[in-house]
Chains A and B, each alone.
Chain A
Amino acid sequence: MEQYEAQFFNLAFFSYFAASCLYISYLIWLNNKLAAGGLLLSIFGLAANTLAIVARTLKAGHIPFANMYEFGMVLVWALVLIYFLIEYRTKRKALGAFILPMAFLLAGVFTLFYQEARPLMPALKSNWLMIHVITAVVAYGALAASCAIAATYLWKERLERSGDDGPVVGALPSLEALDTIANQLISLAVPFLTLLILTGAVWAEYAWGSYWRWDPKETWSLITWLVYAIYLHGRVVLGWRGKIAMNWAIVGFITVLFTFVGVNVLLPGLHSYAL
């Protein structure tokens, strides 16, 4: 089974792509069968994704948390799972047209960084790896979903402003509900985002002798955290709702992506093995 790990993930990638297409067609034609097909393909993709994670674990001999590709496939897995939760809770299948493409795009990005499974390098041989990466999966998964929901909000808001009140607009949750869902996802993510930085700091203290040394990865994780800190204050103190809050949620996820992918590629530092 191990030798098929890359194929399993490719299968997941294509399933997510096909599911995205079906969900988007559902948004256009509002045919329930299309949405059902989208859900079915997403479930199939998640199963393939799960197999890819298991196969990778068997091949590498450790949980697949050691580089960007390995983390990426777990992140996409979590994002699709979060989507199922959202669809189940809101009963709105149209959101799949926004979240599944996000899963498919992320899966595509991480496929580009494919690496052969290798044994763990000295810095990663620690129990902190597990907890550090699990917090990252929860935080980044929820933030990716919040970004997709925020994009949905902005799109729907534009449609409504242009006077469109057709069935497509009706298939999506109300603007207020979208704002609430995005905010709930961010509220879910922020404690984990915090824990992600703190576990990283504790680990760095044991492995590198310093809990904080302004390494690019550390600094960018702080920047991400500050973006969401500003978001939370904006919401409570300045009463941010709707467009401004949603724009901020999108900016937040862009900083997440930069922290996670951009820093590895563009800014060398202690964390560079993660590439």
Chain B
Amino acid sequence: MAEKPVVASKGLERSGTLAQWFRSFVSMRTGISLLLLVMAASFVGTFIPMGREHPLLGDVYHTWWFRVLLGLLCTNIAACSARRLPELWRSTPKAAYLIPNNISSMPFYQKITATQNVEQIMEHYTVLLSKLGYSIKMIKKGEQLGLYAVRGRLAPWGTLAVHLSVLIIAAGALYGNSFGFSEDVALPVGSSVEIGGSKYPGVSQPFALRLSNFSTEYYSDGTVSDWISDIAVDEGGIEVLSQRVKVNQPLNYNGVRVYQSSYGTAVQTKLIDQDGRVLKEASVNENEPLETDGIIIRPVRYIPDFNPMRPMASSPNNPLNPHVLYIVYDHGREVNWGAAKIGESVPLGRNRGSIIFTAALPFSGLQVKHDPGVPIIWFGFGLMTAGFFVSLYIRRLQIWLKVDQEQSGITAVEVGGRGSRLVFDNLYSSLTAIPASQDIVRRKK
């Protein structure tokens, strides 16, 4: 190790280590380590059930440390790409115009001697390699004489495109998360929800989504074919758009998308005290709780055609004998359960009053979303796909030729190749055989 000059100031030294640290951070080795870390974190995250947060790890993918990891990876990718860009920009790196010193340790290397003169040999290789689709550059620098031939120059650009696309996708995701919104709405048939205001960034003109009808279509074998929400968009009380929304068919209105995400029944539930006063009245979705003063009522399921002999079985959508299966809890303890007919009051006993399920309405679970990042993400996806095909389906092949005029009529030729040994091995005979001088094809001028 070289000794450091004594005069170096402390400040300079510190900036030196900082620069060193930065240089090692932007290395590809660090990049590979970061890829490994992201992989390991993703791996751990999949074993924590969704929606149930681990006390220590939480929902891994939304923790600060996972974001930091992704941020570091993006920084590394940006730095590595930036470092490669100047070299790529000069379509061929300057270094290629010099015959590398390590030509003899290249994946393909052959040294041959010939009796032809330098011009004839250069002529031969130029014709041969241009026929094979290489672009050729003569090297004449001082003592050095030879040529550089390259094919598939696009490939490194593909690699760059892939790396940039990762950054673009990350930027799109960040932008969408910051300036968009996503909300789940359970909308009973006939009701509407207002979209507008500060809760909904990106919505300049407020509007209402109204569910005019919800239906389920079945195949002949009884399995579900589609859930269909007929949705109307009202602006200032006037209907401006009406569309069917299905699972693979969202509605798009001024950049706001509406998706079919779930469905169910909303039960109109009324809790009445002993004196007949209404304590609480609300629309409760199936299996969700309604709570007052320690008493919880849970309408478990709406049954359109109730049969006491088979309480859980029901034919769909035929309200001949509509009932609601319910459970009542008093301070956490289950105290009562049963099936109540729609519109009939059921006493809960022990001064707890009674409940009436007044109606059951189908609701459609809709996801209302605005994500301004999506076009950016789609662009990133396109770039990534194109980049990968260019990067992995095109191979850059480089050949260097070093020609040395030796004593009395003998020429030494060294051929070095980089890119694919297999390709060069297949070319072996044509790369190493130099035809007799009179057979060398002359280039068309």
A-side interface residues toward B, CB under 8 Å?
118-119, 121-123, 125-126, 176-177, 180, 187-188, 190-191, 194-195, 198, 201-202, 205-212, 214-216, 219-220, 222-223, 226-227, 229-230, 233-234, 237-238, 263, 267, 269
Contact = CB atoms under 8 A, between A and B. Distances in A.
A263 to B, nearest CB: 8
A253 to B, nearest CB: 15
B45 A214 contact: yes
A17 B314 CA distance: 48
B92 interface: no
11 contacts: A122-B246, A122-B248, A125-B226, A187-B393, A191-B393, A202-B378, A209-B369, A211-B374, A223-B42, A227-B39, A237-B32
Given A122-B247, A191-B385, A206-B248, A211 B32 contact: no
A17 to B, nearest CB: 33
B74 to A, nearest CB: 14
Contacts of A118: 221, 223
Contact of B385 (A194, A207, A214, A229): A194
Contact of A198 (B31, B223, B227, B381): B381
A195 B225 CA distance: 28
> How extensive is the interface on chain B, given as a class?
35 or more
B50 A206 contact: no
B134 interface: no
Interface string B350-390: 00000000000000000101000010011001001100110
Contact of A220 (B29, B46, B59, B248): B46
A208 B261 contact: yes
B195 interface: no
Contacts of B247: 122-123, 125, 207
A219 B385 contact: no
A196 to B, nearest CB: 11
What are the 10 closest A-B residue pairs judged by CB atoms, nearest first?
A: A209-B259, A191-B388, A122-B247, A226-B39, A209-B367, A126-B248, A237-B28, A214-B61, A187-B392, A198-B381
Contacts of B385: 191, 194-195, 198
A142 B249 CA distance: 33
B43 A119 contact: no
B389 A191 contact: yes
Contacts of A214: 45, 50, 59, 61
B39 A206 contact: no
Given A119-B225, A216-B46, A227-B39, A207 B248 contact: yes
A28 B417 CA distance: 38
Contact of B381 (A202, A208, A220): A202
Given A125-B246, A198-B384, 20 more contacts: A118-B221, A121-B223, A122-B226, A125-B226, A125-B247, A177-B422, A191-B389, A194-B388, A207-B247, A209-B261, A209-B367, A210-B182, A214-B61, A215-B50, A220-B46, A222-B42, A227-B39, A229-B35, A233-B31, A238-B29
A122 B221 contact: no
Contacts of B389: 191
Contacts of A126: 248
A7 to B, nearest CB: 22
Contacts of A211: 374, 377
A89 to B, nearest CB: 11
Nearest to B38: A226
A202 B46 CA distance: 22
Interface in B132-172: none
B42 A230 contact: no
B8 interface: no
A219 B45 contact: yes
A230 B36 contact: yes
A226 B31 CA distance: 12
A198 B28 CA distance: 25
Contacts of B347: none
A217 to B, nearest CB: 9
A119 B259 CA distance: 22
B182 A209 contact: yes
Contacts of A191: 385, 388-389, 392-393
A188 B377 CA distance: 24
B64 interface: no
B248 A125 contact: yes
B270 interface: no
Contact of A233 (B28, B173, B246, B388): B28
Contact of B250 (A209, A216, A222, A263): A209
Contacts of B421: 176, 180
Contacts of B89: none
A211 B369 CA distance: 12
Nearest to A176: B421
A109 to B, nearest CB: 21
A262 B246 CA distance: 30
Interface in B221-271: 221, 223-227, 246-250, 257, 259, 261
B219 interface: yes
A218 B219 CA distance: 29
In the complex, which of the residues B36, B46, B367, B422 has the most CB atoms of chain A within 10 Å of its own CB atom? B46
Contact of A122 (B47, B227, B422): B227
Contacts of A229: 35
A198 B384 CA distance: 9
A207 B250 CA distance: 7
Nearest to A232: B392
Nearest to B227: A122
Contacts of B378: 202
B178 to A, nearest CB: 16
Contacts of A238: 29, 32
A174 to B, nearest CB: 11
Interface in B200-230: 219, 221, 223-227
Contacts of B261: 208-209
A119 B389 CA distance: 35
A205 B381 CA distance: 13
Contacts of A205: 374
A208 B223 contact: no
A190 B250 contact: no
A223 B43 contact: yes
B50 A269 contact: yes
Nearest to B259: A209
Contacts of B384: 194, 198
Contacts of A220: 46
Interface string B387-405: 0110011000000000000
Contacts of B43: 223
